Structure 1
Amino acid sequence: MQTRIPCVLMRGGTSRGPYFLASDLPEDTATRDAVLLAAMGSPHQLQVDGIGGANTLTSKVAIVSRSAEPGVDVDYLFAQVAVDRAVVDTRPNCGNMLAGVGPFAIEAGLVPVQGRETLVRIRNRNTGALVEAVVQTPDGAVTYEGDAAIPGVNGTAAPIQLRFREVAGAKTGRLFPTGRRTETIEGVAVTLVDCAMPVMLLRAADVGADADAAPAAIDGDKALLARLEALRLEAGRRMGFGDVTDSVVPKVALLGPAAAGSGAALAARYLTPHAVHKSLAVTGGIAIATAARVPGTVAEGIAARDEPGMVRIAHPSGVLDVALELNGEEDVAWAGVLRTARRIFEGNLLIPARIWAGKQALRAAAE
């Protein structure tokens, strides 16, 4: 026997995964996580028995519900499902998957169309951040067709404007959780920043790496990855997360000068955290951009001056533009990025009934 669960597969930014209504999933966290592991086919390096794409960027889940909070339309819980381990991590946010939340919520009937553009106010339940998404809705419906292009995605699509608010100290309560803008871990200068995503920033050159290197080159350097993981574990402890061995936070970003002619302020290679992102996570980009604007961080020491209010970050697929407004050096008013999304398929996801019999079966048993 198999259980049918309504599901929509979407690309959000440069990520992809299933989007669920929270009401269609188990309320119990352990059972919900078991369902998500079965849905994605984890743990298995190819995720051959599920819909995961055998990569951290395509092993992500968005869970959406109508919000009871005044002034907020929907709640969004992000889940990072490990590929080769039975781990579901709901501590981080994902700004790329977030790009699909607005369109999904409108088409699920959670948010009414408001005109040619529809504003969807989203509370991220992982970090508490508030995000405003402007979705294109001409002719009374979501459109995915448009002229916007983002690095890491073929072709063009309708633009989705995301403006992140309340992002400073989203997980720890402080932009710089340790109170220091630069500190040393095992002889390496790092900046531990919590802005949209907790991230450990360091200069690539300080660990013998290159911030312009191809992701495969960094992924293939096992000694480097082991060193970065040791630094990350200590960073997680200092940031107040305890043992982060089985968590994807904090992330890691290797920084360096941008290549001549790229038009970027600096270059970054972003680890998720055990493999290099093929482009750059939105939340990670916000953390890097914020640090680049604050004196005394490792990022500020690298970044060239950008146009006012904008930080351009070179990554393996192109350049991410982060619009940023600061109220003083450690108060982020908002950060904005442009993303796109696409609805790929809709229907029912099937999982073994032994994992979860479904809500209909639970209701029948209760009667």
Structure 2
Amino acid sequence: MAEAPETIPFTYYRGGTSKALFFHAKDLPQPGKLRDRLLLRLMGSPDPMQIDGMGGTHPVTSKIAVLGPSKRPGVDVDYDFAQCSIRTNHISWEGGCGNISSAVGPWAISQGLVDARSGTSKDTALGTVKEVRIWMVGLGNMLIAHVPVNEKGRVIEKGQQAIDGAPGTGAAIWMDYKETAGGACKKGLLPSGNPVDSVTVRGKEVEISICDIANIMVYARAADLGISGTEPARTLNESKQLIDDVRELRGRASQMIGLCSSWEKVDEEIPNLPYVVLLVESKDGDDGDVQGRLFLDNYCHSSMAGTGATCTTACAHIKGTLVNQMSRPLQRKLRAFKVGHPVGHLPVIVQVKSGTGIDAGRLPEFSTLSFVRTARQIAKGELCIPEDFDWAAGRLEINGGLNGH
């Protein structure tokens, strides 16, 4: 067995309204139980306070990105995202995180995996940008990041872009998810085949829509789970009954589309996906197109996942879905679709390809499905591995690679 390292190089990023530890795949053990245990230990899980690790006691700060150069033609970097449970020893590699994905391009450029001095383009609104093509390992598809750089090819962080849920401003990074349909289930935009289905929650029938693009989401009316849909995240998280209902809703939807064997085992078999979004129509005076409260890891998001807003926007353009029914009238032209959340709105730039969508009587395809984020490198250095970490419980192979490689 190779000699166990005492430290591991890392970078700490804010991406959008989330934070994550970034690791180069070559610095970690091979994918598997040993790597999972190590990452959970470094994060400080399981512990509600994550006091002995880098986690921030909230799902949006209990995230990890493992990255490396891609061998896929036309792809720059492979991005393997992990959502670390706070209170349990679960770590989920399914899906991705739109907020954290906004920091993948800057990380890849800073690590020298992408030559930002070649292939840049001038944009009248953004200045000089570098297109970074990112393979999302957990979803098996690609997203495209447009990262602002200076004349020396260095990432620009300073800018005037504001996003709800993060203080201050930064340089705009555009993330395009137009090519990500069907990533979780490999069954297209509507994995159940229907715009609306129904499940039972505490014996009551609840209508749902399931949509799979960017990340897979289960949508339901907020009122059907006994809330207004306009409450602050903290209020919702204090309701044990609501969290139990959200878990049952997620479990029954997952069982319906084959993601878990029974709804009671959803946290064990697929702890991260699908996300649940509880919807309410936007009221007069609110310029949002629809309001949502997003739940991941059985916890209400403090704002809105980037992939949550992206999937919601796409779902609004599918005839008959709950999102379509509850959204303001759609437009064919390129526009910003605004998804309301506890601290503001997340706009997604959307344009449906000609010959697809509601007017054409078929599922939509997208010319663009993009949202803007900002990102900042907070720290980089070495994380100390606790002396009591049990390396012997798994086979140690540093220079490991990524899931599915």
Tell me the TM-score range normalised by the shorter chain: over 0.9
Secondary structure of 1:300's match? Answer: helix
Q: Specify which of 81, 84, 95 is matched with residue 81 of structure 1.
A: 84
Who is 2:279 aligned against? 255
Q: Specify which of 189, 199, 211 is matched with residue 217 of structure 2.
A: 199
Who is 2:191 aligned against? 177
Who is 2:228 aligned against? 210
Contact 1:167 1:332 in 2 (8 A): no
**In structure 2, what residue type is equivalent to 1:101?**
V
CA distance, structure 1, for counterparts of residue 382 and residue 217 of structure 2: 36
Shift of 1:195: 1.3
Q: Specify which of 358, 380, 383 is matched with residue 346 of structure 1.
A: 380
Who is 1:238 aligned against? 256
Secondary structure of 2:266's match? Answer: coil
CA distance, structure 2, for counterparts of residue 331 and residue 263 of structure 1: 24
Shift of 1:7: 0.3
Who is 1:98 aligned against? 101
Bigger mean CA offset, 114-123 vs 49-58: 114-123
Q: Specify which of 290, 295, 299 is matched with residue 271 of structure 1.
A: 295
Who is 1:304 aligned against? 328
Secondary structure of 1:54's match? Answer: coil
> Number of matched residues?
360
Bigger mean CA offset, 20-29 vs 45-54: 20-29
CA distance, structure 2, for counterparts of residue 133 and residue 250 of structure 1: 24
C-alpha spacing 1:257/1:178, structure 2 compared with 1 (3 Å): same
Who is 2:348 aligned against? 322
Q: Specify which of 75, 89, 106 is matched with residue 72 of structure 1.
A: 75
Shift of 1:125: 0.4
Could you list the per-position Cα deviations for residues 242-281 of structure 1 after superposition, in whole angstroms to 9, with x for gaps in the alignment? 1422311111000011132221111000011411101100
Could you list the per-position Cα deviations for residues 171-204 of structure 1 after superposition, in whole angstroms to 9, with x for gaps in the alignment? 1122111111101111111001111111110111
CA distance, structure 1, for counterparts of residue 283 and residue 107 of structure 2: 38
Contact 2:184 2:212 in 1 (8 A): yes
Shift of 1:57: 0.3
- Asked if 1:154 is matched to 2:167, the reply is yes
CA distance, structure 2, for counterparts of residue 198 and residue 180 of structure 1: 15
Q: Specify which of 163, 178, 199 is matched with residue 165 of structure 1.
A: 178
Could you list the per-position Cα deviations for residues 57-106 of structure 1 after superposition, in whole angstroms to 9, with x for gaps in the alignment? 00000111000011000000000011111111001210100000000000
RMSD after superposition: 1.7
Secondary structure of 2:308's match? Answer: helix
Contact 1:34 1:355 in 2 (8 A): no
- Asked if 1:332 is matched to 2:362, the reply is no
Shift of 1:356: 4.2
Who is 1:145 aligned against? 158
Who is 2:66 aligned against? 63
Secondary structure of 1:228's match? Answer: helix
Shift of 1:138: 0.9
Who is 1:20 aligned against? 23
Gaps of 5+ in 2: 121-127, 358-362, 399-405
CA distance, structure 2, for counterparts of residue 120 and residue 97 of structure 1: 14
Secondary structure of 2:326's match? Answer: coil
CA distance, structure 1, for counterparts of residue 302 and residue 190 of structure 2: 27
**In structure 2, what residue type is equivalent to 1:133?**
A
Gaps of 5+ in 1: none
User: Percent identity, aligned pairs only?
Assistant: 32
Shift of 1:349: 0.8
Contact 1:161 1:337 in 2 (8 A): yes
Shift of 1:306: 5.0
**In structure 2, what residue type is equivalent to 1:170?**
G
Bigger mean CA offset, 112-121 vs 151-160: 112-121
Shift of 1:6: 0.5
CA distance, structure 2, for counterparts of residue 179 and residue 117 of structure 1: 39
Shift of 1:293: 1.4
Could you list the per-position Cα deviations for residues 279-309 of structure 1 after superposition, in whole angstroms to 9, with x for gaps in the alignment? 1001111111111111111111110125534
TM-score, structure 2 normalization:
0.85
Contact 2:349 2:370 in 1 (8 A): yes
C-alpha spacing 1:28/1:170, structure 2 compared with 1 (3 Å): closer
Contact 1:129 1:196 in 2 (8 A): no
TM-score, structure 1 normalization:
0.94
Who is 2:53 aligned against? 50
Secondary structure of 2:175's match? Answer: strand
C-alpha spacing 1:2/1:170, structure 2 compared with 1 (3 Å): closer
